[in-house]
Amino acid sequence: MKFLSNCLKGVAIGSGAILPGISSGVFCVIFGIYEKLLDSILNFFHDIKNNLKFLLPILIGVGFGVILFGNVLNYCLYQFPIQTKSIFIGLILGSLPSLLKESNKKQVSRPYHWFFFLLALFIGIGCIILEKTLAIQTLETITFPYLILCGFLMSVRNCCPRCQ
């Protein structure tokens, strides 16, 4: 029964992996397997039998999720974009209470945490609003300076020791 349950969780994780902007980690948090999954991967060789028993059904489910739901989610995103995005936004927002509960176990919440949370929330809302007004870049309109700027912005996170 545990094998089937982990396979179904893996299907959901695999279906989330193919969506742009949705992390499979969100589904791992929703299902409550995030820490056990990380621990199983990081300490794989310490207890191979138990780690394999936990990871194998999830990996099988992820494979089926990617194969089965790739075209279904693609269809839903094109035919029902608002509803489909709203479902996944709801899943992400629904995982926030468990994330807050888990983070409060390990350290005390500080006022600047709330400041950065609200800042990220407003930036996200602003990006959603700007998505409708900005033109989508095509291969013909992408310029060399634009690519340099994108590469610079992506590398800033890797250079900052506090961000890693």
Cα–Cα distance, 65 to 12 (Å, whole number) = 6
SS3 letters across 78-138: HHCHHHHHHHHHHHHHHHHHHHHHHHHHHCCCCHHHHHHHHHHHHHHHHHHHHHHHCCCCC
Residue 45 and residue 96 in contact, taking contact as beta carbons nearer than 8 Å: no
Regarding predicted confidence, which is higher, 42 or 88?
A: 42
140 within a domain of the structure (yes/no) = yes
26 within a domain of the structure (yes/no) = yes
Q: CA 27: distance to chain centroid?
A: 7
Overall number of domains in the chain: 1
164 within a domain of the structure (yes/no) = no
| Domain with 23 in it | 2-159
pLDDT digits (tens, 9 = 90+) for 20-64: 666 677 778 778 888 898 899 888 888 889 999 999 999 999 999
N-term to C-term CA, the chain: 38
154 within a domain of the structure (yes/no) = yes
According to DSSP, residue 139 is labeled: T
User: pLDDT category, 163, cuts 50, 70, 90?
Assistant: very low
Cα–Cα distance, 79 to 82 (Å, whole number) = 9
Q: What is the pTM of this model?
A: 0.57
Cα–Cα distance, 82 to 59 (Å, whole number) = 30
pLDDT digits (tens, 9 = 90+) for 94-106: 777 776 776 667 6
61 within a domain of the structure (yes/no) = yes
